[in-house]
Structure 1
Amino acid sequence: MAIKTRTHSIDGKREMTIDEFKRWLKKFDGDKDGRISRDELADAIRETSGGWFARRKSKRIIRSTDGNGNGFIDDNEIKNLAEFAEKHLNVRILYL
């Protein structure tokens, strides 16, 4: 399940709204607790960009975006994750 987007911008980045990003991310919330764990994020990375080093990448992403340090990305930290995706995953998040 790749990141589904409606368009690519001139610079080749996939574009999606923040709501689309949240819906895509929720598909990986395996235990339905409303948070994304390192393992769940690794699954998303594996699906999006291939399996190589998914666990290592997910650990780095959690560390970079987990504002309260609890090891999960929750609704309050989704914006941090969206900013990381824009910077490192060739995605442009549209705030409409």
Structure 2
Amino acid sequence: MAFKCVRSIQGRDGKREMTIEEFKRWLKRFDGDRDGRISKAELREAVRANGGRFSRWKVHRGIGLADGNNDGFIDETEMKNLVEFAQAEFGLKIRA
């Protein structure tokens, strides 16, 4: 799935590359209530906005894997976990 909302380059391995800050800026666009956290619905919207199809269970799995404190949201302290999930599931290469 291509991420057309951020500037990224294609790596030699075919994966889209972006920095962690670019990824955070892209994701922040979908924080509808501006609370600084990403909910399941916001993550699903982000993926769909980029032409991706993400089942409810995969969104639930992504939030579950990234959500260290089990509050149902991804906040700044858990962003590293979401980055790892995005690299595995979205075909991205996110660099520091």
TM-score (norm 2): 0.88
User: Could you list the runs of 5+ residues in structure 1 that have no partner in the other structure?
Assistant: none
Contact 1:5-1:14 within 8 A present in 2 as well: no
Counterpart CA distance in 1 for 2:23 and 2:54 is 22
Match for residue 41 of structure 1 among 28, 40, 43: 43
Counterpart CA distance in 1 for 2:32 and 2:53 is 18
Superposition deviation, residue 2 in structure 1: 3.3
Counterpart CA distance in 1 for 2:8 and 2:43 is 22
* Aligned residue-pair number: 94
The question of 1:71 aligning with 2:72 is answered yes
Alignment RMSD:
1.6
Instruction: Calculate percent identity across the aligned residue pairs.
Output: 51
Superposition deviation, residue 77 in structure 1: 0.5
Counterpart CA distance in 1 for 2:54 and 2:85 is 19
* Residues 45 and 64 (structure 1), Cα distance of their counterparts in 2 relative to 1, 3 Å cut: same
Match for residue 14 of structure 1 among 9, 13, 16: 16
Letter in 1 for 2:12: I
User: Could you list the runs of 5+ residues in structure 2 that have no partner in the other structure?
Assistant: none
What's the secondary structure of 1:93's corresponding residue? strand
Deviations 1:57-93 (A, max 9, x none): 2111001110110000000011110011112210001
TM-score (norm 1): 0.88
What's the secondary structure of 1:72's corresponding residue? coil
Letter in 1 for 2:85: F
The question of 1:56 aligning with 2:62 is answered no
